[in-house]
Amino acid sequence: MRARWWMAVVVVIGLAVALQGCFQPTVPSLRVGIRITPEIAFGPVQIQGEVFLTETVTVMFQGGSAKLSLDGNGEGEIMVDDVIDLEIIRPGGSVINESIDFSANCSHPVAPLAPIEIGHWLGIGENTINFTFRDQCGGGSGNTEIWLVLDAAP
């Protein structure tokens, strides 16, 4: 009788050890998607270099990832004819200016890009991002739908 009891204890302990790696706690998603712009149909520009859209968002960045993408899940290629200028006002007031050029300085027709990581330009805390969508090469302007997706650091 005592041997059976010990065998049962050994089996239970063995199962517990074997299953230990099978049940990992799940961390709830800390993803926030902010729609920057709906799709704007591609069409002709009046003046080369004209701005066709400006948007401003203020986000609380906690570290992790911040992507520009086609959807609110941080996936899908985006395209702008021709450039997105970003002015990022970081916590403390420092300013970063960056441009994302979909035409490679007018060297080829605009091409879609995979989701673009911009988290390295943001500071921890409140950031204000001014988006300027503009033509650069003449001919046309427009864009796909664009989202800013924040994934907080675990």
- pLDDT tens for each residue of 66-112: 999 999 999 999 999 999 999 999 999 999 999 999 999 999 899 99
In CATH, what number does 28-152 get? 2.60.120
Per-residue confidence at 154, pLDDT binned at 50, 70, 90?
A: low
What CA–CA distance (Å, rounded) separates 9 from 82? 69
Q: Strand ranges (DSSP E) for 28-106?
A: 31-37, 40-44, 51-61, 64-69, 80-81, 83-89, 95-101
Q: Strand ranges (DSSP E) for 62-139?
A: 64-69, 80-81, 83-89, 95-101, 116-117, 125-134
Q: Give, in order, the Cα–Cα distances in Å from 122 to each of 23, 80, 114, 117, 129.
A: 35, 22, 20, 10, 9
User: pTM of whole model > 0.85?
Assistant: no
Q: What order of strands is seen across the sheet that includes strand 40-44?
A: 40-44, 140-143, 80-81
